[in-house]
Amino acid sequence: MERIIILLLIGLTAGVFSGVLGIGGGIVIIPLLVYFLGFSQQQAQGTSLGLLLPPIGLLAVINYYKAGFVDMKAAGIMVITFLVGSYLSSLFAIRLDEAITKKIFAVFLLAYSMKLFFGK
């Protein structure tokens, strides 16, 4: 049950970031799957693509799935809250000043890049 809650929260977080900043898969979902659920990088990438399968990535997901790197149940669970989060946050984001949106995006990218650069 805890894993499902974490997956729902990851989907919601990615949905919110998608709605506000237009990002989600590689920048949000993959690191959260690795850090909070212990996914390998490849499994996190494959599962993230599985979540994004309906709109994009079908052929890439097939390759990851054949290699055993897609957790379809995890991807399916996150789809639910990703849709809700992206829709609701987009209602907020369209009212934000563009300069504020750019600054939020820049801070997020800087923080993540520093983690990647200085982390393991």
Which tokens in the block code for residue 20? 């506000």
Closest by CA to 8, choosing from 43, 40, 61, 51, is: 51
By C-alpha distance, which of 9, 22, 8, 26 is closest to 89? 22
pLDDT category of residue 1 using cuts at 50, 70 and 90: very high
Specify the pLDDT at position 77: 94
CA 15-61-16 angle, 5° bins: 5
Give the residue-averaged pLDDT of 111-118: 88
pLDDT tens track for 36-56:
999 988 888 888 878 876 666
DSSP 8-state code for residue 38: -
CA 20, CA 18: separation in Å to the nearest integer?
6
Res 14 pLDDT > 90: no
